[in-house]
Amino acid sequence: MIAGRVWKFGDDINTDLMLPGSVLYASEEEQKRAVFAANRPGWVDQVKPGDVLVGGRNFGMGSSRPAARSLRNLGLACVLAESINGLFFRNAVNFGLIALACPGVHAACEEGDRLELAIADWRASNARTGVALAVTPIPEALLKLMTGGGIYPHLEQRGLILPR
């Protein structure tokens, strides 16, 4: 079970906002510091490991840049959104960020609420209101990667890339 404080964002949150072009090839630490600098300056100092990000429709639209890695590096426990952009989803799987679609989640929470996610049951609930919602299931193979640290450990094990 994952449980954490909710930070709310809207529809169509794009990857340029999460990982601005100015730090596209900077270090992971610098990239982490720049998350949402244009639309919510200072947020990176407020968010804490274990918090939950709630998004609207098409969360993570835009570029292929590793924005999911920056959110993972901020320590977010998970991202739940009305829908997850397909390319962002691939990066979430590969970088080991739990990012799942949960229709209705945006209206069901206020910022600061405590949201609980039970992946085994594909269920999320708001601890303050008691409202429970269905999380859209993803294929088992992808869930294993997403919750197991992403794709790189597998490629290392198979001897296809060197460990960092």
List residues near other proteins by CB under 8 A.
12, 14, 16-17, 20-22, 24-28, 31, 37-39, 57-58, 61-64, 66, 68, 83, 85-87, 89-91, 94-95, 139, 141-142, 150-152, 155, 159-162, 164
User: Looking at residue 139, what DSSP letter applies?
Assistant: -
Q: Which is nearer to other proteins, 1 or 162 (CB)?
A: 162
> Which residue matches tokens 């405590």?
114
Shortest Å, Cβ 164 to other proteins: 7
What is the H or E stretch that residue 100 is in? strand 99-101
Q: Which is nearer to other proteins, 84 or 126 (CB)?
A: 84
CA 5 to chain centre: 14
The packing angle between helices 86-95 and 140-147, to 10°, is 60
Shortest Å, Cβ 144 to other proteins: 13
Shortest Å, Cβ 19 to other proteins: 10
Shortest Å, Cβ 3 to other proteins: 28
Contact 127, 116 (CB under 8 A): yes
17 φ/ψ angles, rounded to the nearest 5 degrees = -70, -35
Q: Which is nearer to other proteins, 57 or 123 (CB)?
A: 57
